Amino acid sequence: MLDVLAESHNATQVNSPEEADILLLNTCSIREKAEDKVFSELGRWRKLKDGRDCVIGVAGCVASQEGAEIQKRAPFVDMVFGPQTYHRLPEMLDETLKHKRQVVDISFPEIEKFDALPAPRAEGPTAFVSIMEGCSKYCTFCVVPYTRGEEVSRPFDDILAEISALAEQGVREINLLGQNVNAYRGMMHDGEVADLSLLIHYVAAIEGVDRIRFTTSHPVEFSDRLIQTFADVPELVSFVHLPVQSGSDRILAAMKRGHTALEYKSRIRKLRAARPGITVSSDFIVGFP
């Protein structure tokens, strides 16, 4: 968000909330009681508006989840906006500053966010590149589809252009990001649709790119074609994060994960056959439901 405001309003980061003219609380709702923590922090920030004209905004997934309810409980909050509308922050800030209006924007514009990304800028040898947003799996324990929206893939050529620009600036490791990254289905210039495997092959061909990672994956989308990529593309690191959540088929069904424990283990065996010595990390939920 700072990079967006730096370009539009010449904003700079300060060392403490007391010095700030704009206070933005970026939130995550993946943990339990996230809302309580947000309102606790807002309670501390409320005092900062006494006697001074500062703007307070709540961003991120809790903002998407709660919407205008945040301003009902904390009427001193000026802006509430979700992760899909960060690029609209300059307009929202102008609305607040010029017209003294409270703003709520928790919409899910499908591709607009990707169209408004700032110019690629290297900050070291590693870079994180968003290739898709949202998730359409609707696991029973997960809030992501409701806060980040359905799966939307970024156009294939736009991703390659960003990575090429980063590589020219000295980036050597690319991390491909998405809430369900291996569900990537990006439109190519010829109208064809590229999956994650094809994207990785093209990224590996970019001069200067030595290492490629991707996260986070869903077992249902971890296809044999993607597994084969670990055998074919040496730039792809020998690591994958593949959440299993439970080893019980009964619990997996209740979670609506779409796979069995045996199917998960089969994917791991195939991965190890394609890339011997590969490291696999995972997530587990204890005590469901």
Convert the pLDDT of each residue in 248-284 to its tens digit: 999 999 999 999 999 999 999 999 999 999 999 999 9
Fold of 2-105: Rossmann fold (3.40.50)
Q: Hey, where are the domains in the chain?
A: 2-105, 112-281
Q: So what's the architecture of 112-281 in CATH?
A: Alpha-Beta Horseshoe (3.80)
Count Cβ neighbours within 10 Å for each residue of 134-157 and write b for 16 or more, e otherwise.
bbebebeebbbbebbbebbbbbbe
Q: What pLDDT, in 10s, does the model give residues 62-81?
A: 998 889 999 999 999 999 99
Q: What is the mean pLDDT of residues 47-51?
A: 85
Cα separations (Å) of 56 from 51, 67, 88, 218?
A: 14, 15, 16, 36
- What span, in angstroms and rounded, lies between the C-alpha atoms of 85 and 105? 7
192: left (phi over 0), alpha (psi -120 to 50) or beta: beta
Q: The pTM is what?
A: 0.79
Sheet holding 126-130, edge to edge: 126-130, 173-177, 211-215
